[in-house]
A and B are shown apart, each in its own frame.
Chain A
């Protein structure tokens, strides 16, 4: 819970920097050329994605330091919050702030009077926005888990894969009125990322079955699955 606003703050700062770059580039360029503006927008979006990942990394470093500090002064030498929980919370808060920023104005507009798509745009704007936002939130959560784990274990190819998939997702949204091409791949990617994150966090099919069959806990392996759950202290 505590790191929720911290994470959101980092995301906001990254967004701020990215929009600063975009703003400067727009002002320096020709306003009338719409193709150029669109390309600048693409460029701005790509810069923003990269900056988000950079800030995610910076946040990871910060959390590591704080974790070490907490571990040093705690009673039994371990920090009260495991890295996996921190990864989950950080990914979740990143996702929440990103999703909220993307969708809240749309939500506010959807209350007001109006007709969707009256100027020839798709009439499914709101519902697809909702689905896309949900996918983005999930994706950020999964990316957070995978990212932190990859940084922890220094698997840099994982990192690169996360950044690449973020870029791909953002790029897919550029296909947007053509919803089949954008929504379906994004959801497939969400599911893949979810499975990957689940495995990274230590879950396995066995854990899921054990959980579903509501057997009493027999061994410590079940505890790894509970790492995905946020303890009530957070």
Chain B
């Protein structure tokens, strides 16, 4: 784990779970797999705190445990999973676009709580939806269950591994930690539940609240007397499936930008047909015949078969090679080259970074070297039609930024510099890695700056929150306009200005984080796909 990744993980854990969890988590990421006592000793925290932190981390799938010999349990942190926390809003938004508000809330609950049983999720989501509906309307559990089942069918949520039920009643002393297993076919199996009920609205004059003092209600709320029908079956969000969806989205929009809407629809259809049949790490999808594609086109598109064939030929001949032709049976068998597509997307990202950082002439040189693979200094000047001095300058700038690298080809065995060719080349994999590392650093900087800005104006923020609370309570008790005006004037105009600036800055920083995360996704997908092929 690089230092940049560790720093970013530390910031994310601290923001979402607090300092204790952050300390334990970062220690585990740094040192690898360790047992409980060693963690407590090395970090200097009390055993109880370590236990609390580990419970939270395991619940959120950030730490896994393994039983070693002699009953020692070792805990290991998953750094890449911690970095996924940046992408939670994007997952939730995707669920909203696919399955509307119900799906959005289901995925949000699962992400916030790590793992949950289906009945708990359904109940909570129904309650939340009922809150937002008009008075008198409630959300039925059945509807929420339906959406949950659809999410499971399309593999967006999956079951967590569980303890296998042992046949014999008394297996002897209990193992120090349960061994959790899951089989492929059970992963998306929804238990048959008949959840009947409606969402409850949380009101102060609720029938449930009368007669019971509030303290006891919170203590007993988790203590259900009825047995939960799907006890022990926990669900979690399937992040890989979301990543597959993002990748498909990126490819479709790339095709739409390069060609036109119809070709992007064709590519989208092809990707949809191979969603479940293609494993996520495959370099290309299963071959699809032109007839199949024609049949599966969305209903609105009435293009003739010939036009479809023409489009497919065009796509296959495109130098970007998103679509390839793998055979002629069935009117032509076509595949989508996922690995090549990811490579093109990563390359496009690199080009765009060079352009924004160094200027469009540098970008021209960069694209030239990409295209020709290896070029000498003189050739670069000639082909790019840029004067020698400037070309030299730009090449060295890119070289020191590690976008371009030098390849030495010696003419003589003694590698004398005067008798060696020095060729400029772009190594996409290493440039992508360098850029990814930089992205991690950028996000860490953005988060730190945001925290700094918020801390600077903490006093002002607290004051404005208090004023808002006062105004809200006064409105509830029916105050007059003049009194409200008076309270609002407690915040002076320059203070209001300051608050506005703060809000704008924080929004900008947040939006930048989201943007950098999209780049991280593309680069990580490309690197992962390349590593799997080797």
Chains A and B bind each other: no
On B, residues with C-beta under 8 Å from A are: none
> Which residues on A are within 8 Å of B, measured CB to CB?
none
